[in-house]
């Protein structure tokens, strides 16, 4: 175990010694006018000198970034209208909220801020599929972005006048760019000469969203999309041609759709503040931003305060010594890597969780049928299958050591190699599957902690960490990653107790404390929930391993320790640029009660989604029964192996508390049980066949 600590400290030292001088970073200057061009389904591949000359010209002097347009959505590819509503609200909203036209809705925050400052808003363009649909301004994405909380826009041209018939496109209508330009110039000229109020104009060449609404086939979609991108380029040209000298132009994709694989990021181009790469204080990743970040940037650019309910923060610009083509290529690589890694996420994630549930189901079967005796070959295969399954989480991190893949096939190859490395390191000169499983557990703890100490470069794209595309989080340690780390640590210490004796039980306290600190601190894991379920799990494991009962002294010390970690985390969060989940709650942008209620509701929905997941509480219940009653072969194992029993007690405690406090509590519960349940199963197989058979 001391080797783990030395490795972590070495990684921190290397990180400190290899920090390069930071690139020049600047804040966005302020302007009197901000023009926002909605560009749904635009990709970086579309921007070239031939097909989109205006965008190509814009990119020369613009700051570029990838927007996570899917963030906060349950749909894998939400439409652009929902993305427009997120811009308007400055926070993730549902599709229902996006189309709500109620007074006081969160949609309308951006327009309200501009108009309350004495400014004006304008909405030009519509994505209505028919002229009759254009009669309602609420069907126009531009109007949704520009409106205030009462549904008011100072200047609007979203009616059927701004579209014209075109029999060559599937919907039969396209945006009339001549009318759009006239309306745009009218909006620019509509204010008081020299007026002090800010001006926000939203332009929506709606052909791209109309193309998606008329989707008939992959070929037809791509053809229609290319045509629509031409309209976006023409709109950018119009916007640039009349852009005031004290004006900024933001082109932002509000939706992405892919017919092959996951939908990617949406391009963002900020013109007027100088070239570079956009940096988000919220994502902690250069070149990866969120739509609420764009909202905050618009407000900041207009010299307006950003309300606390906005979950994004004003973007910074990293000045890089790169030509336009290099910066565009960098954005393309980031998008391709995120999509490639996403293609492996669901199969790996669901596969390992499925294995966890199967393990728990096998425990249930062993409880109900204690006399079942599988053959030696079956036991051997099953035991090493557990080693392979438990090697997957660490393998997903090791796979990133050679860089990020840009194709799905490359992602799968690297994943296979990463898992292979972990398996090889675990079984080499091992004394059987149980010993190899202990190695896997310890190796997983070391890999995750070292990665977090180095800033989490391998966690980005890992199936058990976070997805920048879906944007639940963009850095740190997600619920699944924290569950893997905690479960592996519980099993690793349990293995050491069974090997070296009960004197190792204190490792649950100091290793558990280290894990909670790493997982919670905003500069590392930024996962405040671990303070609750992680502390509970490690304290429970310690008590079980030491043969002690929970008393008020231990309980009080645990609460004080968890509170101290949260207090330090809150202090760091307030001092750092950008806020974690804890900072947003403390800042008043989200209440603790509603947050816990939302987490519990989502966990219940996941729990009842499929019959297989229902096996999770049954399996956990079976383990509790074995731990309490200690009957049958499993009862004999937990009675004889104090380390296995302690790991299971800690895992069950963490699983139950996590199920109640986390929004992905079901997945967390399954993953935190993976390593301890595998240790129990491996011990069962070794007992049945005898350790010497391996």
Pair of tokens at residue 45: 């591949």
- Helix (H) or strand (E) holding 238, with range, is helix 218-241
**What confidence tier does 138 reach under pLDDT thresholds 50, 70, 90?**
confident
pLDDT at 576: 60
CA neighbor of 673 nearest in space, from 544, 533, 549, 550: 533
**What confidence tier does 364 reach under pLDDT thresholds 50, 70, 90?**
low
Spatial distance between the Cα atoms of 383 and 181, rounded to a whole number of angstroms:
69
- Helix (H) or strand (E) holding 45, with range, is none
pLDDT at 371: 61
Contacts of 512 (CB under 8 A, 6+ apart): 486, 489, 534, 535, 537, 538, 539, 541, 542
Residue 232 pLDDT > 70: yes
Which tops the pLDDT comparison, 632 or 234?
234
Residue 691 pLDDT > 50: no
Least confident of 292-296, 349-353, 369-373, 594-598: 594-598
DSSP letter assigned to residue 13 = H
Least confident of 406-410, 521-525, 552-556: 552-556
Query: Does residue 258 sit in helix, strand or coil?
Result: coil
Q: What is the rounded average pLDDT of the residues 422-433?
A: 87
Give 199-230 as a DSSP string.
EEEEE--THHHHHHHT---HHHHHHHHHHHHH
**What confidence tier does 268 reach under pLDDT thresholds 50, 70, 90?**
very high
Which tops the pLDDT comparison, 417 or 106?
417
pLDDT at 19: 39
Residue 62 pLDDT > 70: yes
pLDDT at 267: 95
DSSP letter assigned to residue 232 = H
Choose the most confident range, by mean pLDDT, from 335-344, 347-356, 418-427: 418-427
**What confidence tier does 16 reach under pLDDT thresholds 50, 70, 90?**
very low
Pair of tokens at residue 410: 């490359």
Spatial distance between the Cα atoms of 626 and 645, rounded to a whole number of angstroms:
10
| Cα diameter, the chain | 91
Spatial distance between the Cα atoms of 275 and 69, rounded to a whole number of angstroms:
22
User: Are the C-beta atoms of 210 and 173 separated by less than 8 Å?
Assistant: yes
Residue 381 pLDDT > 80: no
Q: What is the rounded average pLDDT of the residues 501-516?
A: 90
Which tops the pLDDT comparison, 459 or 135?
459
Give the pLDDT confidence of 673-683 residue by residue, as tens digits: 889 988 988 88
pLDDT at 434: 85
pLDDT at 205: 92
Residue 693 pLDDT > 50: no
Spatial distance between the Cα atoms of 464 and 343, rounded to a whole number of angstroms:
14
User: Are the C-beta atoms of 249 and 272 separated by less than 8 Å?
Assistant: yes
Q: What is the rounded average pLDDT of the residues 470-499?
A: 88
pLDDT at 480: 85
Choose the most confident range, by mean pLDDT, from 96-100, 171-175, 234-238, 454-458: 234-238
Give 437-496 as a DSSP string.
HHHHHHHHHHHHHHHHHTTSTTTBT-TTSB-TTT-S-SSS--HHHHHHHHHHHHHHHHHH
pLDDT at 606: 53
How do 25-27 and 276-279 pair as beta strands? Answer: unpaired
CA neighbor of 419 nearest in space, from 438, 446, 445, 400: 400
How do 155-157 and 276-279 pair as beta strands? Answer: unpaired
Query: For a pLDDT cut of 70, what percent of the chain falls above it?
Result: 83
CA neighbor of 126 nearest in space, from 93, 95, 148, 153: 153
pLDDT at 101: 61
Burial of 118 (0-12, 13-18, 19+ CB in 10 A): exposed
pLDDT at 540: 92
Q: How many residues would you count in the chain? A: 694
pLDDT at 250: 96
**What confidence tier does 580 reach under pLDDT thresholds 50, 70, 90?**
low
Spatial distance between the Cα atoms of 505 and 694, rounded to a whole number of angstroms:
28
Residue 42: phi and psi, rounded to 5, are -75, 140
Residue 52 pLDDT > 90: yes
> CB neighbours (10 Å) of residue 611?
7
How do 25-27 and 316-318 pair as beta strands? Answer: antiparallel
Summary mean pLDDT of the chain? 82
User: Are the C-beta atoms of 83 and 291 separated by less than 8 Å?
Assistant: yes
Query: Does residue 59 sit in helix, strand or coil?
Result: helix
Query: Does residue 609 sit in helix, strand or coil?
Result: coil
Residue carrying structure tokens 């199963």: 681
CA neighbor of 502 nearest in space, from 553, 539, 547, 538: 547
pLDDT at 367: 62
**What confidence tier does 14 reach under pLDDT thresholds 50, 70, 90?**
very low
| Dihedral sign, Cα of residue 443, residue 449, residue 450, residue 452 | positive
Q: What is the rounded average pLDDT of the residues 490-512?
A: 91
DSSP letter assigned to residue 314 = P
pLDDT at 202: 95
User: Are the C-beta atoms of 35 and 239 separated by less than 8 Å?
Assistant: yes
Burial of 358 (0-12, 13-18, 19+ CB in 10 A): middle
pLDDT at 5: 52
pLDDT at 229: 92
Range(s) of the chain covered by CATH 3.40.720.10: 27-120+205-318
Burial of 114 (0-12, 13-18, 19+ CB in 10 A): buried
CA neighbor of 548 nearest in space, from 487, 506, 497: 506
**What confidence tier does 22 reach under pLDDT thresholds 50, 70, 90?**
very low
Residue 451 pLDDT > 80: yes
pLDDT at 15: 45
Contacts of 402 (CB under 8 A, 6+ apart): 414
pLDDT at 341: 85
Least confident of 240-244, 331-335, 583-587, 664-668: 583-587
Residue 110 pLDDT > 90: yes
pLDDT at 193: 45
Which tops the pLDDT comparison, 587 or 88?
88
Give the pLDDT confidence of 479-488 residue by residue, as tens digits: 888 999 999 9
Residue 207 pLDDT > 50: yes
Query: For a pLDDT cut of 90, what percent of the chain falls above it?
Result: 31
Spatial distance between the Cα atoms of 446 and 518, rounded to a whole number of angstroms:
12
pLDDT at 36: 96
Residue 263: phi and psi, rounded to 5, are -70, 145
**What confidence tier does 431 reach under pLDDT thresholds 50, 70, 90?**
confident
**What confidence tier does 322 reach under pLDDT thresholds 50, 70, 90?**
confident
CATH of domain 27-120+205-318: 3.40.720.10
Query: Does residue 279 sit in helix, strand or coil?
Result: strand
Residue 195 pLDDT > 90: no
User: Are the C-beta atoms of 337 and 404 separated by less than 8 Å?
Assistant: yes
């Amino acid at each position: 175990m001391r080797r783990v600590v030395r490795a972590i400290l070495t990684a921190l030292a290397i990180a400190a010694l290899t920090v390069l001088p930071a690139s020049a970073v600047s804040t966005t200057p302020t302007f009197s006018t901000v023009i926002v061009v909605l560009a749904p389904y635009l990709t970086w591949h579309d921007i070239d000198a031939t097909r989109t000359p205006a965008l190509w010209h814009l990119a020369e002097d613009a700051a570029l970034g990838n927007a996570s347009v899917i963030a906060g959505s349950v749909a894998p590819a939400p439409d652009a209208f929902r993305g427009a509503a997120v811009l308007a609200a400055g926070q993730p909203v549902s599709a229902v909220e996006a189309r709500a036209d109620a007074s006081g809705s969160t949609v309308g925050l951006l327009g309200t801020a501009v108009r309350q400052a004495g400014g004006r808003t304008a909405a030009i363009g519509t994505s209505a599929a028919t002229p009759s649909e254009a009669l309602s301004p609420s069907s126009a994405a531009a109007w949704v972005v520009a409106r205030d909380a009462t549904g008011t826009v100072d200047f609007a041209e979203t009616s059927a006048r701004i579209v014209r018939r075109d029999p060559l496109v599937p919907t039969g209508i396209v945006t009339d760019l001549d009318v759009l330009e006239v309306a745009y110039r009218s909006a620019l000229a509509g204010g008081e000469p020299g007026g002090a109020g800010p001006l926000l104009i939203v332009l929506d060449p709606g052909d791209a969203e109309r193309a998606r609404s008329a989707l008939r086939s992959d070929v037809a979609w791509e053809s229609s999309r290319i045509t629509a991108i031409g309209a976006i380029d023409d709109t950018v040209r119009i916007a640039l041609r009349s852009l005031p000298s004290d004006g900024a132009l933001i082109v932002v994709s509000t939706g992405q759709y892919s017919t092959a694989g996951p939908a990617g990021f949406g391009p963002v181009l900020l013109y007027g503040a100088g070239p570079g790469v956009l940096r988000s204080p919220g994502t902690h990743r250069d070149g990866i931003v969120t739509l609420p970040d764009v909202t905050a940037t618009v407000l900041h650019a207009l010299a307006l305060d950003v309300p606390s309910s906005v979950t994004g923060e004003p973007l910074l610009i990293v000045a890089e010594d790169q030509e336009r083509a290099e910066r565009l290529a960098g954005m393309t690589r980031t998008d391709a890597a995120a999509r490639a890694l996403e293609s492996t996420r669901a199969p790996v994630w669901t596969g390992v969780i499925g294995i966890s549930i199967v393990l728990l189901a096998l425990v249930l079967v062993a409880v109900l049928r204690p006399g079942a005796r599988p053959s030696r070959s079956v036991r051997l295969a099953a035991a090493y299958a557990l080693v392979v399954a438990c090697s997957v989480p660490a393998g997903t991190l090791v796979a990133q050591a050679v860089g990020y893949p840009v194709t799905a096939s490359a992602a799968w190859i690297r994943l296979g190699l990463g898992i292979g490395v972990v398996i090889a390191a675990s079984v080499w000169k091992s004394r059987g599957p149980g010993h190899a499983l202990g190695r896997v557990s310890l190796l997983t703890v070391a890999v995750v902690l070292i990665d977090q100490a180095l800033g989490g470069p391998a966690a980005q794209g890992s199936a058990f960490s976070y997805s920048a595309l879906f944007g639940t989080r963009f850095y740190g340690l997600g619920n699944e990653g924290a569950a893997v780390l905690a479960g592996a640590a519980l099993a690793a210490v349990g293995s050491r107790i069974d090997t070296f004796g009960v004197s190792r039980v204190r490792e649950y306290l100091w290793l558990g404390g280290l894990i909670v600190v790493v997982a919670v601190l905003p500069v590392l894991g930024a996962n405040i929930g671990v303070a609750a379920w992680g502390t509970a799990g490690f304290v429970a494991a310690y008590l079980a391993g030491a043969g002690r009962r929970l008393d008020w002294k231990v309980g009080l010390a645990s609460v004080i320790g968890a509170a101290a970690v949260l207090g330090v985390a809150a202090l760091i969060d307030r001092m750092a640029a950008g806020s974690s989940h804890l900072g947003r709650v403390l800042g008043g942008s989200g209440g603790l009660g509603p947050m816990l209620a939302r987490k519990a509701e989502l966990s219940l929905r996941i729990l009842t989604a499929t019959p297989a997941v229902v096996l999770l509480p049954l399996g956990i219940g079976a383990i509790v029964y074995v731990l309490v009653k200690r009957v049958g072969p499993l009862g004999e194992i937990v009675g004889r192996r104090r380390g296995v029993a302690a790991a299971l007690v800690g895992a069950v405690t963490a699983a139950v508390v996590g199920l109640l406090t986390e929004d992905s509590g079901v997945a967390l519960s399954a993953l935190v049980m993976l390593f301890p349940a595998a240790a129990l199963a491996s011990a069962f197989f070794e007992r049945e066949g005898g350790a010497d058979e391996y």
